[in-house]
Amino acid sequence: MAAGTQPSSRAASGVVLLLAVLLAEQVLAAEALSIGVNYGQIANNLPSPARVSSLLRSLKISKVKLYDADPRVLHAFLGTGVEFVVGIGNEHVPAMVSPTTAQAWLQQHVAPHLHAGARITCITVGNEVFKGNDTVLQASLLPAMHSVHQALGTLGLQGRVNVTTAHSLDIMGASYPPSAGAFHPGAVSHLRPFLSFLSATRAPFLINCYPFFAYKDDPARVPLDYVLFQPNAGVTDPNTGLNYDNMLYAQVDAVYTAIQAMGHTDIHVKVSETGWPSRGDPDEHGATPEHAGTYIGNLLRRIEMKQGTPLRPAVPIDVYVFALFNENLKPGPASERNYGLFYPDGRPVYNVGLRGYLPPMADSQGTRQVIHLLILIAMASVAFALS
């Protein structure tokens, strides 16, 4: 009997090890942060997607927004449970008006990853399309969204993946007070059918909000505490009596008001980008690591409290922070290259309590595959011992 008890002991050890691994994964999922992050890649010094996957898992960040559908990124995150928003760049939007082209894009960039186990929940068709003067792009947006949505149905993916686009706050003609929120008159003709599409497909309205811009443009009149979520008396909307102690919530409620004025109360507003730069040009007032850390740190605390805005207090605000890394090749003022939570080497730009780990240059995806292989071997040993 003694000879027969040893395999059972080893089997028990294997079972305990396997359960410990699975339990650890469940705990990580349960503790995932509610905030999302934008993962831009306009840089030549970023870590590999496999290393980034390890970093985000160590941070317990479970929502990532891309500006494309980079297969290297989606492959690196397989099996992690991370939820993705993928994007179709503005340069490809007019071509997506063709149902054939839209379906081909999905078959190449989305369907294989979904079938492999990736969690892609939303596709953004273009980004800030109405910010510029490209009338062809603007006219193509809604037809392209229709084509992508219909192609998802053809591929049996409708209902699993939403289709929308992200707007700049410039789309607003009025945003103060929030109760007077209204879209820019020049965009209304495009937005009316667009909102009907979102309502019919239950897709969210995405808005990019940066209180930093308001402070940068007028630091003498815009209270710093108000834009940084610091304690302050706030601003009371004279029409609703609602008090706003920060600018971001006021901006979001202005968008809700504008949508409601066009006849829709069933569309959820998500903040697809917000952030604060840690550096800027001399005329970019407020672009410091201290202010960036205060903005992001206070925002994180509010999100983890599952706060809603004054107008929608029961609906926790849904936010994607911009951005994961500083991107050294982005054009424009210095601030554009300094929105990152992290430097490319994994060091935090400022301390907001996010404890992450970027693995060394060794292939972290390979390490993950070895661990999975060891688990499979352990499972096989358990099965053999119990047989």
Contact assessment for residue 293 and residue 350, using Cβ atoms and an 8 Å cutoff: yes
Q: Active-site residue numbers?
A: 128, 273
Helix (H) or strand (E) segment spanning residue 370: helix 364-386
Strand 182-183 to 172-174 pairing: antiparallel
> By the 8 A CB rule, do 355 and 57 touch?
no
Q: Give the 3-state DSSP-derived string for 99-153, with helices as H, strands as E and coil as C.
A: HHHHHHHHHHHCHHHHHHCCEEEEEEEEECHHHCCCHHHHHHHHHHHHHHHHHHH
Task: Say if strands 33-38 and 61-65 run parallel, antiparallel, or are unpaired.
Answer: parallel
Please state the φ and ψ torsions of residue 168, each to the nearest 5 degrees. Answer: -80, 155
Handedness of CA 201, 202, 203, 206 (dihedral sign): positive
Among 48, 113, 47, 119, which Cα is nearest to 80's? 119
Structure tokens belonging to residue 165 = 């686009």
Angle at 206 between CA 279 and CA 41, to 5 degrees: 45
314 Cβ neighbours under 8 A, 6+ residues apart: 308
Task: Yes or no: say if 311 and 330 are a contact pair by the CB < 8 Å rule.
Answer: no
CB 317 within 8 A of CB 302: yes
CA distance 5 to 19: 21
